[in-house]
Amino acid sequence: MTGAYDVAIIGAGVVGCAIARAFSRYRLKVVVLEADTDIGNGASKGNSAVLSTASDTPSGTLEQQLVKRGHALYRAEAPSLGLPIENLGSLTIAWNETEAETVRAMQLAMIADGFHEAELVGPDAIYRRIPALAPGAVAAVWEAEEAIVDPFSTPLAYALDALANGVDIRCSTPVTGAHFEDRQWHLATPGGEFVASLAINCGGLYGDRVDALGGNHEIKIKPRRGEFIVFDKSARGLLDVILKPVANSLGRGILLTPTVFGNILVGPTAEQVDDPDDWRCTTEGLAALQAAAKRTLPGLLAHEITTTYCGLRPGSDRPEYRIVVRGDKRWITVAGIRSTGLSAALGIAEYIVAQAMDGLVRADQKAEIVSIRVPALWERGPRPARDPTCVGRDARYGEVICHCEQVSHGEIEDALASPLPPRSLKALKRRTRAMFGRCQGFFCGARVTAMLDRSLSPEPRHAAE
């Protein structure tokens, strides 16, 4: 419809957006086709927001390689995008002698895998770091490199960067059919056909369905549901480190971690589900999280719960990344990214671009790159409402609308007027944090909804509020 693209990326999760950004460095016409009304509204929206080192992914796998690379790239690139990294480090705690054995073996394996910072620590060091920890911890692996990040602003930053550098991002544009003709993909959407000479499936939870459109049927996505509880910011003083249990056959287990927004997060549970749209929280799941909190950090239960949510990890029928490059069909599948998409995205993007440049597309690098920054949303970040100069210059930043998260009128207006404006309340929450706090909209819900609805109405009245 708008001429042929060089690359079409199907799916604007954190991986799709990172790949789009990586391609935007080249003289290529790139389009991202997203079925949802917003980017990052699938697997990318519900995770534990930990920038992992991959020390606990299987040795020698592509996943480990790409998480490792993604982690390094994130540390290098996130600050210039305005994304926070809080270097808390993680402790994987053994509660008995059997687990202590596992932890010792884990640490040796990490060293062998090149994670030289992994350190074995005893109870003294553990309790010095977390005085509120339940009694009985015997040993732990300390990993200084693990950090917490902003999971919502990360895909947004990649998307805004891609957009600023010429990528066409189309939300509400589900791909409903695909056929390959004259070495080009014709991708059908309700908004018309998109033609591209390379298609990249970043469909996440729908990765198998997208692959099927391209005639590939070997991958089956098996979503793993993970529920989370977010505790009030008043609990932040209890924990200043990422706390992980020893992984067992059931998975990595339930972790407890601060978030960059100043809350304490407990989760995820792990449950195989068939429906990629099953975002429910369950009685059992929430009970399991409370039990884990009580067992690990008993003081936590005295604090209010801010919210609960559910994430779906886009695992597949094999416990590994499913990245398949089909040169003849000019189709790349990026599926089965499991729970490591946030940490690995930049590594995956670099890898995919290298694969594509190896004969599938040909282009020069651009001489100039436009840089962008996302608004600071993290608790200790340079929020406009805390800056006297900013408030003095523009009074809209002095009027707090969301009191729990201290989001100003100006920040909400900025988000609504951004190049990738939110089209739903959840998108607006991810952009600004409004309604994300302890009252969940008791105070600001009506006003924030009104502002969004006004911006969505066919004839927006600019800045009427």
Nearer CB in complex with another protein: 28/292: 292
Strands 255-258 and 85-86: unpaired
3-state secondary structure of 8: strand
Smallest distance, another protein to C-beta of residue 423, A: 11
Q: Which is nearer to another protein, 185 or 261 (CB)?
A: 261
Compute the radius of gyration of the chain from its Cα atoms. Answer: 22
Q: Cα 186 vs. chain centroid, distance in angstroms?
A: 29
Kind and range of the H or E element at 286? helix 283-296
Give whichever of 6 and 413 is closer to another protein, judged by the CB atom. 413
Q: Which residues bind another protein (CB under 8 A)?
A: 230, 234, 277, 279-283, 285-286, 290, 302, 304-310, 385-388, 391-392, 395-396, 398-400, 403-404, 406, 424-426, 438-443, 445-447, 449-450, 453
Distance in Å, CB of 419 to another protein, minimum:
22
Q: Are 216 and 25 in contact (CB under 8 A)?
A: no
Angle formed at CA 414 by CA 411 and CA 418, multiple of 5 degrees: 140
CA–CA dist 222, 236 (Å, integer): 34
Query: What does the chain come to in residues?
Result: 465
* Element at 344 (helix H, strand E): helix 341-357
Taking the complex as a whole, how short is the minimal distance between the CB of residue 45 and another protein, in angstroms? 11
Minimum distance, C-beta of residue 287 to another protein, in the bound complex (Å): 9
Please name the helix (run of DSSP H) or strand (run of DSSP E) that holds residue 17, with its range, or none: helix 14-23
> 262 CB contacts (<8 Å, ≥6 apart)?
233, 236, 378, 379, 380
Q: Residue 398 carries which DSSP code? A: G
Nearer to another protein, 186 or 447 (CB): 447
Cβ of residue 384: shortest distance to another protein, in angstroms?
10
| Sequence-ordered alpha helix ranges (H) in 131-180 | 153-164
Closest to another protein by CB, 85 or 425: 425
Tokens of 333: 């599948």
* Whole-number Å distance between alpha carbons of 437 and 21: 31
Q: Mark out the alpha helices in 49-206 (DSSP H runs).
A: 62-81, 97-112, 123-129, 153-164
Pick 164 or 273: Cβ nearer another protein: 273
Q: Which is nearer to another protein, 350 or 394 (CB)?
A: 394
Angstrom distance (rounded) from CA 330 to CA 327: 5
Report the residue number, 235 or 344, with the smaller CB distance to another protein.
235
CB of residue 328 vs another protein: minimum separation in angstroms? 39
Give the sign of the dihedral formed by CA 119, CA 120, CA 126, CA 130: positive
Q: How far is the CB of 9 from another protein (least distance, A)?
A: 25
**Residue 178 neighbours by CB under 8 Å, 6+ apart:** 185, 186, 187, 188, 199, 213, 214, 215
CB of 226 to another protein, least distance (A): 14
Do 98 and 139 contact (CB within 8 A), yes or no? no
> For another protein, which is the closer residue by CB, 180 or 309?
309
Q: How far apart are CA 446 and CA 198, in angstroms?
A: 45
The distance of closest approach from Cβ of residue 132 to another protein in the complex, given in angstroms and rounded to an integer, is 16
Comparing CB distances to another protein, the nearer of 129 and 430 is 430
- Contacts of 388 by beta carbon, 8 Å cutoff, 6+ apart: none
As measured in angstroms, the least distance from the Cβ of 262 to another protein is 11
**Of 319 and 392, CB closest to another protein:** 392
Compute the least distance from the CB of residue 299 to another protein, in Å: 11
Answer yes or no: are the C-beta atoms of 231 and 306 closer than 8 Å.
yes
Amino acid identity for residue 189 in this structure: T
